Amino acid sequence: MVWGKNCEQASNTESMMMVDKCPIYNCTPGNAYNHHKCRCKICVAYRSSYIKIWKQKNPEKMKKYNKNTTIWRKNHPEETRRSKRKCVVKSLYNITMEDYDALFKKQNGLCAICGKKQGQMKLNIDHNHTTGEIRGLLCSNCNRFLGLAQDSEAILTNALRYLKENK
């Protein structure tokens, strides 16, 4: 079956299983785990349906998997934290951890505004909310500061003037 209105509008799992190719990445959604990069609605819906059905058919495997995963995460907190961070960075900002590490190294591990040294995972990714372009890494306080100022040069200029006038 090829992509068409019937497949795009399919809401039940059986119809989703009949899909052969994704129009965006040309992936085959037959294996939910190998084709995780595609985020089109159909692939995401297929993956969700596939995983839900697999979990229902394999409750013992899920119990074992959940138990093993919990134990591993408990014994490897640093790897777990980095893995979660990697997923968040990729999904929110579309950059890899290598990109993040390069930016961290470029800034010498310092906040781009206040210049304070932070831990590797403590710096937030600052980005332009209009274009999505990444501007740099900021500590939580500076990131919040820019957010509260709505990234407005006028507000920041007025705040600076206010501080100078009221020393």
For the chain, the domains span: 5-57, 95-165
pLDDT of residue 128: 87
Which numeric CATH code is attached to 95-165? 3.40.1800.10
pLDDT of residue 19: 47
> Under 8 Å CB-to-CB from 134, ≥6 apart: which residues?
93, 95, 103, 125, 126, 127
> What's the rounded Cα separation, in Å, for the pair 30 and 50?
9
> What's the rounded Cα separation, in Å, for the pair 49 and 21?
17
Tens-digit pLDDT profile for residues 11-49:
444 444 444 555 555 555 544 444 455 656 667 777 788
The verdict on pTM exceeding 0.95 is: no
pLDDT of residue 76: 94
Helix (H, G, I), strand (E, B) or coil at 28: coil
